Amino acid sequence: MNVGIAQGERNPNSSWLNSRGVWLTYIILLFVLHFILLSIPYITTPVAWTLTTTIHNICSFYLFHLVKGAPWETSDQGRARRFTFWEQIDNGVQWTGTRKFLQILPIILFFIASFYTKYDRTHFVINLATMLLAVVPKFPIFFGVRLFDINRY
C-alpha cells in the first residue's frame, strides 16, 4: 500500500483494500476456508456451505462493523479513532468499487449456499440471517450509526 508511492497515506486503512490482488485473495481465502471445512469428516456439502457463509458473515461483521480505529500510527490526529473499519474505507466516500464488492459478496455466497443446500428451510433461515447481518450495515444510511449507544466511544 505504501510501497512505491510518493505521497504518504494518512490512514492506510482507507486504501489497502483497493490494492492490487486484494479482492482475488479475499475470494481465494474464502475457498480455502470452505475446503478446510469440507475436509472435516461427517460434514456434508450443504452443511459445509452453510458453515462457510456463516463463519464468513459473522467474522466480516465483527471486523468491519465492530472494531474501531486503525492498527497503524496514523497521521490524521486520531480522526479514525471512533470510526469502524467499514466507515474508514476510501475515507468515507460511498459506493466505491471496494464497497460494492464487499456488499455483493455475501449475497453471492447466499445464492451458492442456497443452491448447495437444496433450498432446505433451516439452512435458508440461517443463511438469510447471517447474510442480512453482513449486508445491511453496509448501506450508507447506517454510516456512523451506533444502535443503543453500543460501541459509541
Residues 6+ apart with CB under 8 A from 53: 106, 109, 110, 113, 127, 130, 131
73 binds other proteins (CB under 8 A): yes
| Segment interacting with other proteins (CB under 8 A) among 13-21, 30-38, 52-60, 114-122 | 114-122
Assess 20 for contact with other proteins (CB under 8 A).
no
Any contact of residue 152 with other proteins (CB under 8 A)?
yes
Q: Determine the Cα–Cα distance for residues 66 and 28; give it in Å rounded to an integer.
A: 24
Q: Which region, judged by CB under 8 A, interacts with other proteins, from 18-26, 34-42, 57-65, 93-101?
A: 93-101
Left, alpha or beta for 58 (phi > 0: left; psi -120 to 50: alpha)?
A: alpha
Cell numbers 453482513: residue: 134
Report in angstroms how near the CB of residue 134 gets to other proteins at its nearest. 13
96 binds other proteins per the rule CB under 8 A: yes
